[in-house]
Structure 1
Amino acid sequence: MLFGNFGALIYGFLIWWAILLAFSRFPSKYPKNNTWKKDIIITFVQSVILFAVFQGIQYFSS
């Protein structure tokens, strides 16, 4: 496992989710802004995929 325990996994996931949400929400979007709900769902899915990729890289590199 990439992280030492489940708590570290949750904290890492929440940090990545916050970073992705910030990059999704703060820049102005043209021609239309997404809703908060849509951005939260999209960034949640991106965070899940990101952690799955990290796990795969860690598995195949060891």
Structure 2
Amino acid sequence: MFYDSFSATFLALVFWWAILLAFKRYPSRYPNNNTWKKDIFITFIQSIVSLIVFAIINYYY
């Protein structure tokens, strides 16, 4: 597997979640202001999907 332990997977998840949340919240989106709750949920799902994709890519290469 791509990540050796649960703690490594958890740290990778938190890292990508923070990066994605920062890029989601930083730009000014005047017409469509999302709530923090929605942005946190969306970026959490994105970080999980990105970890799965990275693991699949690592497995094949």
Q: Please give the TM-score of this superposition, normalised by the length of structure 2.
A: 0.92
Does the alignment pair 1:53 with 2:53?
Answer: yes
Aligned to 2:4: 4
CA RMSD of aligned residues (A): 0.9
Q: Unaligned 5+ residue runs, structure 2?
A: none
How many residues are treated as equivalent by the alignment? 61
Q: Unaligned 5+ residue runs, structure 1?
A: none
Q: Please give the TM-score of this superposition, normalised by the length of structure 1.
A: 0.90
Aligned residues with identical type, % of pairs: 54
